[in-house]
Amino acid sequence: MGLLTAWTVAALLGQLPEQILPPPWVVVDTLLDAIQDGSLLSSTVTSLERVAEGFAAGALAGLVFGTAVGLSKTLRDFVDPLFLALSQVPTLGWMPIIILTVGIDEGLKIIVIGWSAFIPVVLNTSQGVRDVPEAYLELGRVLSFSRWSKLTMIVLPSAVPSIFTGLREGLANGWQALVAVELIASFEGLGYLMAYGRQLFQLELVLSAMIVVGLIGLVIHGLLTLAESHLQRWRPETPR
């Protein structure tokens, strides 16, 4: 709030050159205009669709792969080092190669977003599955659970907090990747709107898009927190 006031006051006094920071009311105007002519809405929808598709693909694959790696020590021995090495490469670094192989269409966006979501989901899921308390597993054995019910009734519920950490990080990463990939190669979406505003030197357009990006980030964060507390209702109040 303080900064917003300072911004308004400085703009009112004419202390801020418009090329550096346009007055807040201009930004609000631009924002309203963009909402009215529908361009902002369509960009936002495109961006959200991309994130949803990429994240769904990455998270699903990550959950399956992470559970498998967490359950089997043998598989872990084989796969872990390669996976860790690959995950050290900044996601953006893959972009030129992916652009050469699949082009700059939707495929590129889905792959980049999916991969950036995949990594944290795998890491956290496999950790969560590995950390299932031994006593729970023993109980499963005593009750002679089948493999499947052991997985669905003991391992996965107990790994939920960890899985959620992974999903949350994955979604945040996916959102980051979306903005980056749209800045580099895209003809629609919020990232493109920013790149466009930058080329036309329309700071107010760039700032409006940033506000929307920030708001969506906030909403995603809020929704995940809600979903997490909802899924963990069954947990006793006091931690283990």
Partner 1 sequence: MSLITIMGLERLSHSVPIAPPPFRLVSRYLRPLALPITLLAIWELLAHAGVADARFVPPLEAVVARGIAEFGDGGLGFNLLASLQRDLIGFACGSVAGIALGLAIGFSRIIERLLGPVLLVHRQIALFAWVPLISMWFGGGEAGKVVFIALAAFQPALINTWQGVSGIPRSYRELADVLTFGWFEFAWIIAIPGALPQIFTGLHSALIYAWTATVGAELLLNIAPGLGGRMNEGQHLFHMDLLLLCILLLGGVGVVFNVVAGALEHRLLRWRIP
- Please give the residue ranges that form the binding site for partner 1 (CB under 8 A): 1-3, 20, 74, 77-82, 85-86, 88-97, 99-101, 134, 141, 144, 175-176, 178-180, 183-184, 191, 194-195, 197-198, 201, 203, 206-207, 209-210, 213-215, 217-218, 221
- 3 — alpha (psi -120 to 50), left (phi > 0) or beta? alpha
Q: In whole angstroms, how close is the CB of 88 to partner 1 at the nearest point?
A: 4
Q: Give burial (CB, 10 Å; 0-12/13-18/19+) of 200.
A: exposed
Provide the residue type at 78 as one letter.
F
Q: In whole angstroms, how close is the CB of 146 to partner 1 at the nearest point?
A: 12
Instruction: Name which of 3 and 13 has its Cβ closer to partner 1.
Output: 3
First to last CA, the chain: 40
Instruction: Name which of 13 and 100 has its Cβ closer to partner 1.
Output: 100
Q: In whole angstroms, how close is the CB of 202 to partner 1 at the nearest point?
A: 10
Instruction: Name which of 122 and 209 has its Cβ closer to partner 1.
Output: 209
Q: Give burial (CB, 10 Å; 0-12/13-18/19+) of 104.
A: middle
Q: In whole angstroms, how close is the CB of 233 to partner 1 at the nearest point?
A: 26
Instruction: Name which of 61 and 160 has its Cβ closer to partner 1.
Output: 61
Locus of tokens 């949350």: 168
DSSP summary character for residue 172:
H
Q: In whole angstroms, how close is the CB of 49 to partner 1 at the nearest point?
A: 17
Please give the structure tokens belonging to residue 83.
Answer: 């996976």
CA-to-CA separations, 214 to 163, 179, 217, 224, 233, in angstroms, rounded? 25, 11, 5, 16, 29
Instruction: Name which of 27 and 159 has its Cβ closer to partner 1.
Output: 27
Instruction: Name which of 144 and 238 has its Cβ closer to partner 1.
Output: 144
Q: In whole angstroms, how close is the CB of 78 to partner 1 at the nearest point?
A: 5
| DSSP track, 191-208 | HHHHHHHHHTT-HHHHHH
